[in-house]
């Protein structure tokens, strides 16, 4: 049933009660706590005009203004057969106003007061009476019961509204908790990706920006200081700020320099240099390692419903920084360890190459060319790296070959040649107890195999030879041909290339020859030059 | 108005998503199991569906199979929620043209922005699976 009055709809329990009153044909007014009328009943036609006409409103106002502060005013008979049903509205126990319903009994429509009001409103009382007859069916008893019902309904609606509020708050908090868990889960899962710290840092900032309502997030390291940080970049950023990222970075560095406590989370307001109007808030959180901050995580231009930085925001940023610190530390340790490992291998291989003055720098060059070819044919970065390492150690077995054989200038006897042919197996045996070389072993063992099966030590052919070993065979042969050896001078590049093409499909995997010959040999030639200088130095010494 | 059907037996998930989606101006219908979801889907023809995988009476896959066999909903974008650890077979997600699989607890913001982009380009059939984890 739709009544003659429509009220604006808001989430406030008073509004809900008033809407229901109008649905069942009760006209309602709203007043403030002092009884001043704020809202009149809506309504079309004659009835609406009559309800909003001055005389009725004035009579109601003169009554309500006397309630001023009354926490539970009683049912009030305005005149015979016309009652006001006052409902005190409270918010958190404070009186905020009254909802006043108007109820008529049949005798109310016959009173002189009714006639008077119609007259003053310039309406015909007969017509008004006809419209009102259908709902002027109350008496004092029904009004008392109705008022009690309204009070209960108001209390129920108030409780419902409070619960809805609470649920919304819980829901928002739950949403925030989900964002946090999701962010930390993603960060935690990527923590082991130490190989590519920059990818991790960038992804972390993107995720932080997604999870928090800040327009931007940035990670800055001290400018130009890369010690102890596994990246050459000075900053990482994510988001869609008003300012450009370089502007933010500049302002951020100035802000960090001025912080009283750069080793703890700070929420800065109205910071110079930040738009719009200083930010308005910028959160600065240090990324800590044992010795102190190594970088700072910043976020600003908070969006969403509340532009104030909340504890959720700061928790999220603190938690993200909590992951970044150990990650940076681990990544740096990993980088150092890897550098040490490769450095040791280079030193080792160089010392083997030095046994033979003609092979100075050979392992480093083979490692370089093998890695280039591996990259060229699309192998993944980790495999390329492992092939590089295999290149460094591929000739480690030569440590077991007498120097007089390696450096012999005249033709080798069959026995001597057999001794040389044992170096892949010797290398294999030297490395096999080191788990770090498990994946490199087959390359070391098979780098002298040939595509046609005529190589050594196993005589493997075609794709039975591991791919990395096939790659290394090209690099190894190329460097041997291009270098002066004890028993022959170096061949020029054209001749080497021609030889490679001739041996494609016999000595070499035919699918690798073209990619190999299309490599850029500039760096290789530099390595040749460096080795020549070193070799000269050694001879001089 | 764009109608979203949200099906999950976990009321905290539906409250959470419904609130965010409504804040973004979408109309949300909530179902608490697969059967109810299917009834609402036929009655309301939603523009997109977010459904849990494990639900009573009818699970998410069975529900989506019905949606795909029903002409008005055959091409609508669908996001599926799963408990962490449960992985939907890739070919199943492909076959049912599920736009994304989100393991719980997920980032609500990402679900909402993903849904909005799906609605914006209305990729329909042929949209590729995006594993969002």
Taking only the tens place, the pLDDT of each residue in A68-86 is: 777 788 899 989 999 999 9
Res. B51: pLDDT tops 70: yes
Q: Compute CA distances A451 → A49, A377, A448, A496, A501, whole Å.
A: 103, 18, 10, 18, 14
CATH of the domain at A202: 3.30.450.40
Spell out the alpha helix ranges (H) of A24-124: 45-52, 54-64, 112-120
Q: Report the pLDDT value the prediction gives residue B133, as an integer from 0 to 100.
A: 34
pLDDT, tens digit (0-9, with 9 covering 90-100), for A455-501: 989 999 999 999 999 999 999 999 988 887 767 778 889 999 999 99
Domain of B44 in residue numbering reads as 3-131
Contact B96, B73 (CB under 8 A): no
What is the extent of the structural domain holding A403? 354-540
Give me the mean pLDDT over the B73-92 stretch: 82
Q: Is the pLDDT of residue A7 over 60?
A: no
- Residue A7 burial by Cβ neighbours in a 10 Å radius (0-12, 13-18, 19+): buried
pLDDT at position A318 over 80: yes
Sign of CA dihedral A316, A322, A327, A328: positive
In terms of domains, do A204 and A327 share one?
Answer: yes
Q: Which residues pair with A284 in a beta bridge?
A: A266, A298
Indicate yes or no: CB of B108 within 8 angstroms of CB of A178: yes
Total tally of structural domains belonging to chain B = 1
Task: Supply the pLDDT for residue A277.
Answer: 63
Q: Do B106 and A171 touch (CB under 8 A)?
A: no
Residues A222 and A84 in one domain: no
- Residue numbers in A near B109 (CB within 8 A): 179, 210-211
Top-ranked range on mean pLDDT: pick from A312-321, A442-451, B84-93: A442-451
Q: Which residues of B touch A316 (CB under 8 A)?
A: none
Report whether A484 contacts A498 (CB < 8 A).
no
Residues 6+ apart with CB under 8 A from A2: A23
- The β-bridge relationship of strands A94-104 and A82-91 is antiparallel
Nearest CA in chain B to A168: B19
* Residues contacting A330, CB < 8 A, separation 6+: A191, A194
ipTM over cut 0.85: no
CB atoms within 10 A of CB A533: 11
pLDDT tens digits along A149-204: 999 999 998 888 888 888 888 888 888 888 888 888 888 887 877 778 888 888 88
Q: Quick check: A171 and B108 CB within 8 A?
A: no
Spatial separation of the C-alpha atoms in residues A218 and A206, rounded to whole Å: 10
Using a CB–CB cutoff of 8 Å, tell me whether A402 touches chain B: no
Instruction: Tell me the percentage of chain A whose pLDDT exceeds 70.
Output: 96
Q: Give how far A178 is from chain B: nearest CA, Å.
A: 6
Query: Over 50: is that where the pLDDT of A4 sits?
Result: no
Helix A467-482, helix A381-393: angle, nearest 10: 50
In chain B, which residues touch A (CB < 8 A)? 12, 15-16, 19-20, 105-110, 133
% of chain A at pLDDT higher than 90: 26
Q: Are B27 and B3 in contact (CB under 8 A)?
A: yes
Q: A216 and A326, same structural domain? A: yes
Structure tokens at A316: 């999220």
Contact predicate A434/A405, CB 8 Å: no
- Residue B93 belongs to a domain with what CATH number? 3.40.50.2300
pLDDT for A267: 85
If asked whether residues A392 and A533 sit together in one domain, one would say yes
Residues A236 and A226: their CA atoms lie apart, in Å, by 14
Structural domain tally of chain A? Answer: 3
Distance (Å) of CA B27 to CA A185, A339, B10, B14, B56: 31, 57, 19, 13, 24
- The pLDDT of residue A13: 87
Reported residue count of chain A is 541
- For A212, the closest chain B residue by CA position comes to B109
Distance of residue A211 Cα from the nearest chain B Cα, in angstroms = 7
Q: Which residues in chain A are contacts of B19 at CB distance < 8 A?
A: 168, 171-172, 175
Chain A: give the shortest CA distance to residue B69, in Å. 34
pLDDT band of residue A8 (cuts 50, 70, 90) is very low
CB B108 to CB A179 under 8 A?
yes
Shortest CA gap A207–chain B (Å)? 10
pLDDT score of A299 more than 80: yes
Residues whose CB is less than 8 angstroms from the CB of residue A465 and which lie 6 or more positions away in sequence, other chains included: A446, A449, A451, A473, A509
Contacts of B105 in chain A (CB under 8 A): 177-178, 181-182
Give the pLDDT confidence score for residue A1 in this predicted structure: 28
CB neighbourhood size of A363 (10 A):
26
Could you tell me if residue A40 is inside a domain?
yes
A5 confidence band (pLDDT: 50, 70, 90): very low
Biggest CA–CA distance in chain B, Å, is 35
DSSP 8-class letter at A508: B
pLDDT confidence of residue A187? 84
Look at residue A327 in the predicted model and tell me its pLDDT. 87
How far apart are alpha carbons A244 and A213 in whole angstroms?
18
Do residues A217 and A329 share a domain?
Answer: yes
Q: Answer yes or no: is A8 within a domain.
A: no
* Extended strands (E) in chain B: 3-7, 27-31, 48-52, 78-83, 100-104, 130-131
At residue A251, the pLDDT reads 85
Residue of B nearest to A181 (CA): B105
CA distance A250 to chain B (A): 30
Output phi, psi for A355, to 5 deg. -60, -30
Tell me what pLDDT residue A3 has.
33
Concatenating the DSSP letter of every residue in A418-447 gives HHHHTHHHHHHHHHTT-GGGTTTHHHHHHT
Q: Give the pLDDT of residue A273.
A: 72
A174, A181, A211: residue with CB nearest B16: A174
Poorest-confidence range of A3-17, A118-132, A240-254, A349-363?
A3-17
Question: Within this chain, do residues A372 and A498 fall inside the same structural domain, yes or no?
Answer: yes
**Mean pLDDT, rounded, for A363-390:** 93
Output the six-digit token pair for B107.
Answer: 């980032």
Give the residue from chain A lying closest to B108, CA to CA.
A175
pLDDT in tens, A397-424: 888 888 888 777 778 888 888 888 999 9
Q: Is A175 on the interface with B (CB under 8 A)?
A: yes
Helix (H, G, I), strand (E, B) or coil at A265: coil
A31 in the same domain as A125? yes
What one-character-per-residue DSSP string does A199-240 give? HHHHHHHHHHHHHS-EEEEEEE--TT--TT-S-S-SEEEEE-
**DSSP states of A322-388:** HHHHHHHHHHHHHHHHHHHHHHHHHHHHHHHHTTSGGGTTHHHHHHHHHHHHHHHTT--HHHHHHHH
- When pLDDT is cut at 50, 70 and 90, the band that residue A369 belongs to is very high
CATH number for A458? 1.10.3210.10
Is A182 within 8 Å of B107 when comparing Cβ atoms?
A: yes
Cβ of residue A183 closer than 8 Å to a chain B Cβ: yes
Using an 8 Å CB-CB cutoff, list chain B residues near A186. 133
Contacts of A306 in chain B (CB under 8 A): none
CB A52 within 8 A of CB A40: yes
């Amino acid at each position: 049933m739709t009544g003659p009055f429509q009220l604006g709809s808001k989430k406030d329990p008073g509004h809900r009660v008033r809407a229901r009153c109008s649905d069942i044909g009760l006209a309602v007014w709203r007043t403030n706590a002092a009884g001043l009328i704020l809202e009149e009943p809506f309504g079309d036609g004659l009835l609406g005009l009559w309800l909003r006409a001055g005389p009725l409103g004035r009579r109601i106002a003169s009554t309500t203004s006397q309630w001023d502060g009354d926490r539970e005013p009683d049912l009030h008979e305005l005149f015979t057969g016309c009652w006001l049903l006052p409902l005190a509205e409270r918010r958190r126990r404070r009186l905020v106003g009254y909802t006043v319903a108007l109820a008529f009994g049949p005798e109310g429509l016959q009173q002189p007061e009714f006639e008077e009001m119609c007259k003053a409103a310039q309406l015909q009382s007969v017509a008004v009476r006809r419209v009102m007859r259908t709902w002027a069916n109350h008496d004092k008893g029904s009004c008392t019961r109705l008022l009690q019902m309204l009070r209960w309904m108001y209390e129920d609606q108030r409780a419902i509204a409070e619960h809805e509020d609470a649920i919304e708050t819980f829901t928002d908090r739950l949403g925030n908790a989900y964002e946090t868990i999701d962010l930390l889960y993603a960060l935690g899962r990527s923590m082991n990706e130490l190989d590519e710290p920059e990818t991790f840092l960038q992804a972390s900032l993107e995720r932080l920006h997604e999870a928090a309502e800040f327009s931007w997030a940035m990670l800055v390291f001290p400018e130009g200081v890369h010690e102890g940080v596994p990246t050459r970049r000075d900053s990482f950023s994510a988001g869609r700020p008003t300012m450009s990222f370089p502007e933010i970075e500049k302002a951020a560095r100035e802000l960090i320099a001025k912080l009283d406590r750069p080793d703890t989370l700070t929420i800065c307001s109205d910071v110079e240099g930040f738009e719009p109007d200083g930010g308005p808030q910028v959160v600065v959180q240090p990324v800590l390692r044992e010795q102190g901050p190594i970088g700072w995580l910043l976020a600003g231009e908070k969006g969403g419903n509340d532009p104030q930085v909340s504890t959720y925001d700061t928790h999220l940023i603190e938690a993200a920084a909590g992951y970044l610190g150990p990650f940076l530390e681990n990544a740096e340790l990993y980088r150092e360890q890897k550098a040490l490992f490769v450095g040791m291998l280079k030193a080792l291989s160089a010392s083997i190459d030095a046994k033979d003055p003609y092979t100075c720098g050979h392992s480093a060059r083979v490692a370089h060319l093998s890695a280039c070819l591996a990259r060229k044919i699309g192998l993944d970065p980790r495999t390329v790296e492992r092939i590089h390492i295999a290149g460094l150690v591929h000739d480690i077995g030569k440590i077991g070959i007498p120097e007089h054989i390696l450096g012999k200038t005249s033709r080798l006897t069959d026995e001597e040649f057999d001794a040389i042919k044992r170096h892949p197996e010797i290398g294999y045996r030297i490395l096999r107890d080191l788990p770090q070389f498990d994946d490199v072993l087959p390359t070391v063992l098979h780098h002298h195999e040939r595509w046609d099966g005529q190589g050594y030590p196993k005589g493997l052919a075609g794709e039975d030879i591991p791919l990395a070993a096939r790659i290394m065979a090209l690099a190894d042969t190329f460097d041997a041909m291009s270098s002066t050896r004890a028993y022959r001078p170096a061949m020029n590049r054209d001749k080497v290339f021609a030889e490679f093409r001739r041996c494609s499909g016999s000595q070499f995997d035919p699918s690798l020859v073209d990619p190999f010959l299309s490599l850029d040999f500039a760096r290789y030639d530099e390595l040749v030059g460096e080795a020549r200088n070193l070799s000269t130095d050694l001879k001089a010494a | 108005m764009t109608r979203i059907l949200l099906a999950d037996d976990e009321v905290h998930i539906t409250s959470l998503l419904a609130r965010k989606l409504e804040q973004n101006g979408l109309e949300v219908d909530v179902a608490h199991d697969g059967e109810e979801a299917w009834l609402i889907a036929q009655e309301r023809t939603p523009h997109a569906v977010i459904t849990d995988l494990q639900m009573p009476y009818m699970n998410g896959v069975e529900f989506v199979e019905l949606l795909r066999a029903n002409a008005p909903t055959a091409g609508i974008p669908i996001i599926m929620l799963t408990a962490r650890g449960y992985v939907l077979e890739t070919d199943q997600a492909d076959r049912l043209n599920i736009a994304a699989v989100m393991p719980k607890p997920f980032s609500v913001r990402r679900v909402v922005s993903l849904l909005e982009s799906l609605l914006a380009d209305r990729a329909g059939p042929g949209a590729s699976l995006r594993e969002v984890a």
